[in-house]
Amino acid sequence: MVVMVRVEVQDSTGFTTNAPTGDAVLDTRVVIGHGIQFFKDSEATFTKSREYFGNVRKPFALTVMGQRLYIVTSPQDVSAIYKNTTTLTFDEFVRDMMLSFGASKEGVRKMWESPRTGGNVSSLHKVLAHAGEDYYRQQFHPGDRLNDLWTNIQDRMSLCLQWSTITGKNEFPTQHDFKTVSLMNLCQDTLLSSATSAVFGDRLLELAPNLLKAFIVFDDESWKLTYKLPPFLAKDMHKARQQIFAALQSYFALPRRERAGATWVVDILETEMRRIQVEDHDIAALFGMPFWMSEADDSYPSINGNAYKLCFWYMAYLVSDPKLLRVVRAEVEPAVSQGLLGLEGRLEECPQLVAAYHEVLRYHTASASVRSVAAPTDLGGLTLDPGAKVLLPYRQLHFDESIFGPNVDKFDAGRFLAKTGLSKSPSFRPFGGGTTYCAGRHVARRELLTFAALMVYRYDIEISPANFGEAQGGFPRCDVKKPSLGVLPPVAGDDMILNLRKRRGDV
């Protein structure tokens, strides 16, 4: 089905003067599957619309098949939306995702309507859906619980990246003095297995050894779930989602003594769900959300959804720039040589390592936050209509030349070194903000910095002649057109094939 997207910019009296008379119409056609996917290239649509109205960064509306979306691209308006938790709500999106992931209406009702009578003080008298957000923050924000979880993840990552195990599922033969690996496979194997087993214990992957394969398929196709494409247009996604769901259902059906090792937040959330008589089916579905959740702006953490793609891009830039590689290696060697204990703190003192991390986030994050308009809401002198949605596409902020400089379309590993405080700019929102500030951001940061540090410390790394993909030996291309809920993936088929030679022993 082909529909016309109507783009409007409003002020207190109507449409702006730089719009045509009457409704402002942007001559853009998009392919819609049952009213779900309303753009083929979302970023191009946002940019063209913003520039159409003089790049003043006022909110504009996209009306698609009767649903009005207000698109917000200024940091001031984004900050105002974060502060408004009364007439602009995130709850509707969370409820919808719970149902989309397979939870029953009754299970969702219990999560949102059953009163809280116990638990942590900050969670008293909250519905369990909101109390759960508190629990995730307690687990994933700095403190003893995060330290315990991080030690587990870090130890597993270190084991995955040892010379004896680093080949993982890569299809390349080992030579006498070097190993050839797929960078994407290495990032997936290391990050997904480490985080999954650290959060749920070893039993989950023992029950479902193909779970992570299913997850990778689902993650790649998950935008179809968010946009509610019908099953016949999303067969691979629904099949993979069902495999994830089945694995989690089998896991939670076991007595707890048979699945030891889960982290605190899994135990307490399961306990609270069972207290209000949430069924095993719904427990599995409700844990499926944080197991995947690629949305960077979400009070639930993304256990698996973004870190491996961040690591892929970071390492791709690192090994493609010999000077950057030398600088980062010189920074991290003193930190890593002291061992794993306390490594995350020492890596924060490596300025180029951290600056390149920020630039990867700026350049490759394409997440967007959603709010529902519950009542007439003023935003920068405009009135948002009830029933509409508000969309905050953060990539529009990250490519603002007035903030990040004239070369925003290029990756610049020194950008965040050259301009002090840039990472604290209100235009830099890789993890969202407000009440939906991503709970998993601290773990994601530690995962990437540690992965990069261990790799450059332990190995000499070079791009293999076997490097392949559509780029044919070139740098992997970023898939900016495919709808994304978090970190943008490379174009299908693009990868980076690396030769690794051991430099020194494991720490």
At 9 the pLDDT is: 46
What is the Cα–Cα distance from 30 to 52, expressed in whole angstroms?
17
Which pLDDT band holds residue 413 (cuts at 50, 70, 90)? very high
Find out whether 246 and 316 touch, Cβ atoms under 8 Å. Answer: no
Among 63-72, 98-107, 193-202, name the most confident range.
193-202
Can you read off the two tokens belonging to residue 428?
């830099």
pLDDT(112) > 70: yes
- N residues, the chain: 507
Which pLDDT band holds residue 298 (cuts at 50, 70, 90)? low
Q: At what angle do helices 264-275 and 280-292 cross, to 10 degrees?
A: 150
Which pLDDT band holds residue 207 (cuts at 50, 70, 90)? very high
Kindly report, residue by residue over 137-185, the tens digit of the pLDDT. 999 999 999 999 999 999 999 999 999 998 755 666 666 688 999 999 9
Query: DSSP of 127-166, one letter per residue?
Result: -HHHHHHHHHHHHHSTTHHHHHHHHHHHHHHHHHTSTTTT
Distance set, CA 148 to CA 58, 120, 157, 199, 318 (Å): 45, 19, 15, 11, 30
At 4 the pLDDT is: 36
Angle in degrees, CA 471, 475, 476, rounded to 5: 70
Residue 95: closest CA among 62, 66, 128, 139: 128
pLDDT(242) > 50: yes
Find out whether 112 and 95 touch, Cβ atoms under 8 Å. Answer: yes
Which pLDDT band holds residue 53 (cuts at 50, 70, 90)? confident
Say which residue, 255 or 485, is predicted with more confidence.
255
Which pLDDT band holds residue 19 (cuts at 50, 70, 90)? very low
pLDDT(24) > 90: no
Look up the pTM and report it: 0.89
At 100 the pLDDT is: 87
Beta-strand ranges (E) seen in 58-195 are 60-64, 67-71, 88-89, 179-182
Kindly report, residue by residue over 316-349, the tens digit of the pLDDT. 999 999 999 999 999 999 999 999 999 999 999 9
Can you read off the two tokens belonging to residue 240?
């993979």
Find out whether 196 and 304 touch, Cβ atoms under 8 Å. Answer: yes
Residues with Cβ < 8 Å from 202, sequence gap 6 or more?
261
Can you read off the two tokens belonging to residue 156?
């597993």
